[in-house]
Amino acid sequence: MSDASSENTSKQPPLVLVKGVVHFERNFQNLGLFLEFMEGAVEQHLKDNLAQWESGAWKEPDDHLFNGFTSFVYHCVYSLLPHRAINLWGTRLAPAVVAAEARVKKRIHKGSPLYNTAICFFVAGDFDHAYQFMASADEENRLSGATAAASLLLGNGLSADLLVRPMAAWLRSACGSDYKAVSGHDLDEAELERMLGWLSIRMPDALQCVVALHRLVKVQTPPHNEASQHIRVRALAELCIVLESATRRWNVACTEELHKQLESVLSANTISLAEFRRLHLVYTTAYPRPTNKSPAAVNWAVKECLTSVDNAMQLSERAGAAMYLAVRLRNSLLHVLEEALDLYVDQALLMRCVGVILGNVRLSQRGAEGTLAAL
């Protein structure tokens, strides 16, 4: 048997074996050559389509210009090679599109490749760039006259497989009971989609929610350390901001801080409002300024509000306690983020708070729909 290193690389089998030993360098070289070949084919496919578009011969929707890239993305994300697609779009495909637009002085709708690149960033765990590219895809859709922003998160197979389903099952087991206690709904996939669909009326709210939840999912993998704790608390703080932003979007009659916002929302239900105000009175008595943002104050608020959620007999009472916890977390987590917080070191406790905050988002939706009085 001849030494495989002396053979022509193009004739190598998928796995190079020399005397029973795997030669990783040669195998990865073969993999790299194959991916480069595929990337070249995708680039040429796009350039051929762009030539038709520039000549006026292209009669299909602009998204179809990128069908080759879409196919490449599917294979990359399911093969855990998202950065190959990210790099291909950024360094070769996007410049070709910009050049074609400049030559014709006409805009190409780029929703499809921007969405697909966002998905790749999600899979890679780069949530900030995923957020940016998904927002750009939404902008493209709006420029082209589309109004259903929710379809980006919920109306595509990749979104369902990679964005929603991985969260739904885990969230239901991790905080589904608290979500149901506060909102009255099971936290299943359909419920999560309904909530994200409502949030997507203002797309950044929906995207920030998805990013925060994915941070919580990703940080379940080791190593587990102080960084893991910090990321979890950061994600909880992001969800509090989502709640505030989504509530401000529809509750335009109130322009004050979150406490007044949620008090205004709960005015539709006297039992909820009474519990909200009761907890505030007890809290301000126990922790007057300037002690109200100390770790001890945050720990007290979490324990007291969750105890109220556990002990309340009525959904309306639990809603009041849940909304008050949101106020305390929103006002505190931007000031206190340290190991002295119980929820910093206790993941189960933090996930209970996640369930309550998500339940509050659903309650805010009910407020927008005018159904809080019926709790």
Give the start-to-end residue ranges of the domains of the chain. Answer: 4-147, 158-374
- Cα–Cα distance measured from residue 333 to residue 132, given in angstroms and rounded to the nearest whole number: 24
Q: Rounded CA gap, 30 and 199, in Å?
A: 45
**Cβ atoms 235, 215 nearer than 8 A:** yes
Q: What is the pLDDT of residue 120?
A: 96
Both ends of the chain: CA-CA distance in Å?
78
- 253: how many CB neighbours lie within 10 A of its CB? 7
pLDDT score, position 282: 96
Q: What pLDDT is attached to residue 160?
A: 79
Q: Are 360 and 326 in contact (CB under 8 A)?
A: yes
Angle of helix 295-311 relative to helix 315-333, nearest 10 degrees? Answer: 170
Q: Kindly tell me the burial class for residue 128, based on how many C-beta atoms sit within 10 Å of its own C-beta (0-12, 13-18, 19 or more).
A: exposed
pLDDT of residue 156: 67
What's the rounded Cα separation, in Å, for the pair 306 and 182?
10
Rounded-to-integer distance, Cα 320 and Cα 304, Å: 12
Residue 333: the pLDDT is 77
The one-letter amino acid at 259: H
Assigned token pair, 55: 């000549």
List of the chain residues with pLDDT < 50: 1-13, 15-17
Count CB-CB contacts under 10 A for residue 186.
Answer: 12
Spatial contact of 363 and 182, defined as CB atoms under 8 Å apart? yes
- Return the DSSP state at 80: T
| Other beta carbons within 10 Å of 257 | 12
Provide the whole-model pTM.
Answer: 0.86
Residue 233: helix, strand or coil by DSSP? helix
Report the C-alpha gap between 71 and 99 in whole angstroms: 23
